[in-house]
Amino acid sequence: MAIYHLSMKPVSRASGRSAVASMAYRAGEKLTNERDGITHDYTAKQGVEHAEIVLPEPDAGTMGVNVDWARDRSTLWNAAEFAEKRKDARVAREFEIALPHELSAEERLEATREFAQELANRYGAALDFAIHSPHDASDVRNHHAHVMMTTRQVTEDGLGDKTYLERENKWLLAHDLPTTDMQLRDIRQRWEGIANERLAMAGLDIRIDHRSHMERGLEIAPTEHMGVHASQMERRGLDVSRSRLDEDAARRNAELIREKPEQVLTIITGEKSVFDRRDVARALHRYINDDPQEFRNAFAKVMASPALVELQPERAHVVGDHATGEIELARYSTREMVEIESGMIESAQRMHGAYGHGVDRRHVSQAIERQDAAIQRSAGDASARLSDEQRRAIEHITGPERISAVVGYAGAGKSTMLAAAREAWEAEGYQVHGAALSGKAAEGLEESSGIQSRTLASWSRGWDNDRHPLGRGDVFVIDEAGMVGSRQLARFVGEAEARGAKIVLVGDHEQLQAIGAGAPFRAITEEIGHAELSEIRRQRVDWQREASVDFATHRTAEGLAVYRDHGNISFAETGEDARGQIVRDYLADRDERPDGTRVAMAHRRADVRAINDAIRTELQDRGELARGEDAGALTFQTNDGKREFAPGDRIVFLENSRDLGVKNGMLGTVEHVEAGRPGAGPMIVVQLDGRGGDSVSVPMGDYQAIDHGYATTIHKNQGATVDRAYVMASGTMDRHLTYVAMTRHRDGVQLYVAQDEFTNAGRLVEHGAAPFEHKEGNSQSYFVTLENDKGERRTLWGVDLERAMKAAKQAPEIGEKIGLQHMGSMPVTLPDGTETHRNTWKAQDAGELAYSQLERRLSRSGVKETTLDYTRDFAERRGIAEQMAIRSEMEIPREQLSQERAELRQDRDSTAEHPAERERIEDRAPRSSQKLGADLAQDLHADPREDLAADRQQHRNPFEGLKLGRGVAAEQPEQGRAGEDGPQQAEKQRGGMFAGLKLNARSSPPQERSERPEREGSLRPAPAQDRLAERARRQSPLEAAVDRYVRAYQSVDQHRREGLPVLDMQRQEMRGAGQQLDQVRDGMNELMRSTLQNDPQTARAMTELSGRDRVAHVIEGMKRENAALQDPNVRAERFVNRWQELQGQHQQLRGWQHDEARGKVEGQMDGLTKSLERDPQVESILRNRSRELGIGHELHREQTVARALQEEMTRGQRLSRGHGIEM
């Protein structure tokens, strides 16, 4: 967390200060106070990085009048002095703010300028700010700004009325305005927002918090900012006892940290669930003075705190099978956060296994039919209907489980699906409630689905006051669940569990990330599974739907490329030019389609404000919107300053109000404005969007949370749908914000990019050949000289620059803006035979460079972590794996095994008396099913056949000693499959494969099944009464692990069959499922992957069966594969097949352009050869098949197959590289 400091103090004559003297010092200038004739000369002052005057923008207090006179510093502050007559008058107000040292000088300047501009607009005042750098002898992080504000509004003729900040509370309350304290709180909060936006834009995972420590329940003393007087003393060489803290406060903090180190951890987990030691160090630097020993002691105390939990130890960073040399720092959290998130998951697990909220299928079918009919009426198409995905999602969430989830891409029809589900729930007698994080999202949920909804905060307050409790007859739907933090969502899951209600989570964790710490929606969906809506329905054009899928699946660059190819990304030289394009396009669409819907959006509030002002100005110039009171417009005081509204204006509500019936983010159109009449204050009458023309009268004395609504922030548009969208790009955006912004539209979206924000291009000054560094006698080289906006020049030298300049799409001309991108280096041989490397470059014009930077910035990930991502590492090291149900090994006492054998005999006797129907899996599966299994396993894991022979000498049966539930197939005799595949008989096992296992009573041996032939290729599930008994039985650990794996597999399978990319979440779930298998018994994950690739019957079961029937058949397949793997002939055959396959791939990847892909194949081949060192039986068999492996000579007695293969690989690598150089 970065340092937060904002203080405000008056510049008052009563304390002997003057505005002229104060600003002269802060700006480092020479100014004369004309009131007393004293000249204040601070031109020798050091440390002033920048000083600038900021005035209100048009329609922000000045009402468009010319106030340029105030841009002169001497004129402005002398006017401030002469405007006050009292000898104790306040002549200015000063804000002192700490600037995040993590930002660059330019970023700190932009943040300060934006803050000053917002104050100027809000109060109609003039502001003068100066940025100071840290003194060499002080804290090097002490970057700060002094922002001086006039106490009166600036007008064309001078300074006018006092600003609202200078008024007494009595006057403010009488005029229905916020008190001084309320205004200050808003100012502090706004600086937090500006600073955090800039930190995000810089790609920094830190933020500041405007709340006091007391408000956050912390005892630790906050830092004290180095004030102006302390800085003066320090620069004069005087002793300054405080830098960030006085000695007493620092000592108290050190003592408190020794006693309560969890206070520091609380500060950190306010924003992230998982952190590393750098986060701890950053937090401590704020509260411990510069004594190194004191810091080390405090750091050690925090790291040894019982509240701290190490989730993952420090380890080497590995890519594929190779270490990169980098170190991944250990990951930590707190016990509180672990308990919150693990408790939430445990509640979700219990609720997912608890049935009782099912809906009769008849009600579900009727609800779907009614929704189909509504869609057909709306579309005018008799064939229109809910998609198959939507139907599956409806059936999923109306199932009996007490918790369920739906992950849906933006525009995939979640609202329509929920509308049908609501009808089904209500037909069954349930009461359906809705909730969302924001008021606008709650309003959207209610409008689109008919589910009465409120914000999550409103529900929490009601429960705190024993109002609106949930009950067993309730279904609670949370929309946009991906934006909810762990602490908040944990409460709602816990409340639903305690009250017996059902909770349904709907969202998309790829859109805007959780506001608080953690990513609980992702964690819950990974645990309990989910229905998925990936078929985009919002966009009406195919290529736009495909691009939406790109944005939803982390392929931001591909999505942007599609829109660029279709001309939907516009570049302008400056931000002002880009905003001008938005205004023209927005109004052109308004003229062409007056009944259509549209929105302009940006991430930064400053951009939103500028777009709103520009659109209003254009409408006023056209005569379509009133300007000034004489024309019917009125100016109102809002929370963000004065705003003029007129009939026809677009308006946005920024806070929830139950009295008005409006929610944060709602939009409307102004119908009428009133200045006030006897007994009533000023009022705006607004027609709300989306309510059938409902109007609301807004009393401006009571509700001031409004602004112009032509443009709004991206956050306020999540969940919205319009015909056309106009998006202002900014460097603060990441892939999640981009995904939301680029998927709000039905018909079209245009992205506007300011080149000056996304490039560091320079103007071309000179280029050509010359002696290196222009020194006579040096060898000839090529140079390019560029000049930045500050007039600074930089010259680059390099032989390849000449080629790069000639290869540019358009030959750069002197004066043009270009960028030079370093592309790496390539090996070259000099005339004297010396081998070296030469830098390679690419010359790009400003547009190309801007696009590449846009692509990079908008593709950044902001995904949050949870402690659940590290549960296994944590549990195994802390020795609590058993309590957390993730034991790596299942040990069963002998007494228990004897008891289970006795139960097994009873089960078999019962089966003989009451034989159940059996299923049979055919020996052959469609070739496509076999290939699918192999493709999925290769994509999601390292190839399982690379290490088939690992640890074969132990020949351990992974099923040995496991207690299986009754859903696992019955004990079978050895089927002899391995023996049929090769001339040698499979090795004899030490014991029966399923010795000691408690098996399913309704399964029967293979010979019993063969007596009941079925249709070719068919798979039949168990009878209904058996399935009911199965659902009532608790799954064994192995069954649960296999069930999770096959569910994850099916999710990936569906994406592959539909031609969609595999999501990170799906990959994580596959990895988690594999880990769960290994926790049951080491090697189970490897065996599962091998089974999917090599056992066709299992591939059939994965696609044709479901539920516990599928689990039973998969476990049978794993047993068959385990038996096959014991036969060295089978392992040898698979080795040959895999080696030949890799050889073919390697031969097709010749040339330098395939270096990376070829390296991966070579890594797999190397892994195969090493596996032979651990499997002498396969090594022996392969000696007779060396020709099939591409070994072109007879093997010597001392030469191993592995060594020969490695020699062949080395020879092939040389040939491939040589081929590449020739090209």
Beta carbons of 586 and 709 less than 8 angstroms apart: no
- Alpha carbons 1152 and 1144: distance in angstroms, whole number: 18
Which DSSP string corresponds to 43-94? TT---EEEEEEE-PPTTTTSTT---GGGGSHHHHHHHHHHT--STT-EEEEE
Query: By mean pLDDT, which of 150-164, 1014-1028, 1041-1055, 1192-1206 is the weakest?
Result: 1014-1028
Residue 213's alpha-carbon distances to 220, 334, 1170, in angstroms, are 7, 19, 59
Structure tokens given for 694: 């409902």
Which amino acid appears at position 507 of this protein? G
The predicted model gives 1142-1165 an average pLDDT of: 75
Beta carbons of 416 and 444 less than 8 angstroms apart: no
What does the pLDDT look like over 575-598, one tens digit per residue?
A: 899 999 999 999 999 999 988 889
What lies within 8 Å, CB to CB, of 743 at 6+ separation is 409, 410, 411, 538, 539, 548, 551, 552
225 or 1115: whose pLDDT is higher?
Answer: 1115
Beta bridge partners of 408: 533
- Alpha carbons 279 and 598: distance in angstroms, whole number: 42
286 or 1136: whose pLDDT is higher?
Answer: 1136
Structure tokens given for 737: 């914000």
Per-residue pLDDT band at 710 (split at 50, 70, 90): very high
Q: What angle do CA 798, 800, 806 make, to 5 degrees?
A: 120
> Average per-residue pLDDT in the chain?
76
In this structure, the number of other CB atoms found within 10 A of the CB of residue 70 comes to 26
Per-residue pLDDT band at 724 (split at 50, 70, 90): very high
1137 or 296: whose pLDDT is higher?
Answer: 1137
Beta carbons of 805 and 830 less than 8 angstroms apart: no
- Alpha carbons 37 and 17: distance in angstroms, whole number: 14
- Topology of the domain covering 6-201: BirA Bifunctional Protein; domain 2 (3.30.930)
Q: Helix H segments across 237-287?
A: 247-259, 262-269, 277-287
Q: Which pLDDT score is estimated for 512?
A: 54
HSE value, Cβ hemisphere, 13 Å, CA-based, for 798 = 23
Q: Which pLDDT score is estimated for 1006?
A: 38
Task: Tell me the chain's radius of gyration from C-alpha atoms.
Answer: 35
The predicted model gives 832-859 an average pLDDT of: 80
Residue 61: is its pLDDT beyond 50?
Answer: no
Domain with CATH 3.40.50.300 in the chain: 337-537
Structure tokens given for 384: 């229109």
Beta carbons of 233 and 135 less than 8 angstroms apart: no
What lies within 8 Å, CB to CB, of 539 at 6+ separation is 411, 545, 548, 743, 745, 746
Residue 1210: is its pLDDT beyond 60?
Answer: yes
- Topology of the domain covering 568-758: Rossmann fold (3.40.50)
Residue 481's alpha-carbon distances to 439, 651, 693, 733, in angstroms, are 14, 27, 30, 21
Beta carbons of 569 and 751 less than 8 angstroms apart: yes
Which amino acid appears at position 602 of this protein? A
Structural domain 337-537, CATH architecture: 3-Layer(aba) Sandwich (3.40)
478 Rama sector, left if φ>0, alpha if ψ -120 to 50, beta otherwise = beta
Q: Which pLDDT score is estimated for 477?
A: 94
Beta bridge partners of 673: 684
What lies within 8 Å, CB to CB, of 225 at 6+ separation is 5, 7, 96, 98, 142, 144, 244
Give the burial class of 979: count Cβ atoms within 10 A of its Cβ; 0-12 exposed, 13-18 middle, 19 or more buried. Answer: middle
Q: Containing H/E element for 767?
A: strand 762-771
Per-residue burial over 724-756, b if 16 or more Cβ lie within 10 Å, else e, is: bbbbbbbbbbbbbbbbbbbbbbbbbbbbbbbbb
Phi then psi for residue 685, to 5 deg, are: -100, 125
- Alpha carbons 349 and 1080: distance in angstroms, whole number: 18
Distance of CA 875 to the CA centre of its chain: 26
- Crossing angle between the packed helical segments 1084-1094 and 1107-1125, to the nearest 10 degrees: 90
Beta carbons of 40 and 48 less than 8 angstroms apart: no
- Residue by residue, what is the 3-state secondary structure of 1054-1093? HHHHCCCCCCHHHHHHHHHHHHHHHHHCCCHHHHHHHHHH
- Alpha carbons 876 and 1099: distance in angstroms, whole number: 33
Q: Which pLDDT score is estimated for 855?
A: 84
Beta carbons of 282 and 293 less than 8 angstroms apart: no
Which DSSP string corresponds to 29-53? -EEEETTTTEEEE-TT---EEEEEE
Beta carbons of 872 and 1079 less than 8 angstroms apart: yes
What does the pLDDT look like over 219-273, one tens digit per residue?
A: 454 444 444 444 444 444 444 433 444 555 555 655 666 666 777 787 777 777 7
Indicate the pairing of strand 598-602 with strand 722-728.
parallel
Beta carbons of 294 and 285 less than 8 angstroms apart: no
- Alpha carbons 634 and 643: distance in angstroms, whole number: 8
Q: Which pLDDT score is estimated for 412?
A: 67
Beta carbons of 1108 and 1127 less than 8 angstroms apart: no
Residue written as token pair 């270490």? 323
Q: Which pLDDT score is estimated for 917?
A: 34
What does the pLDDT look like over 361-399, one tens digit per residue?
A: 899 999 999 988 888 887 777 878 888 888 888 999 999
576 or 1190: whose pLDDT is higher?
Answer: 576
Phi then psi for residue 93, to 5 deg, are: -130, 135
- Alpha carbons 174 and 98: distance in angstroms, whole number: 35
Beta carbons of 48 and 27 less than 8 angstroms apart: yes
Q: Helix H segments across 813-887?
A: 846-858, 871-878
- Alpha carbons 561 and 547: distance in angstroms, whole number: 9
Residue 489: is its pLDDT beyond 50?
Answer: yes
Residue 1052: is its pLDDT beyond 70?
Answer: yes
Per-residue burial over 817-853, b if 16 or more Cβ lie within 10 Å, else e, is: bbbbeeeeeeeeeeeeeeeeeeebbbbbbbbbbbbbb
Phi then psi for residue 945, to 5 deg, are: -85, -5
552 or 916: whose pLDDT is higher?
Answer: 552
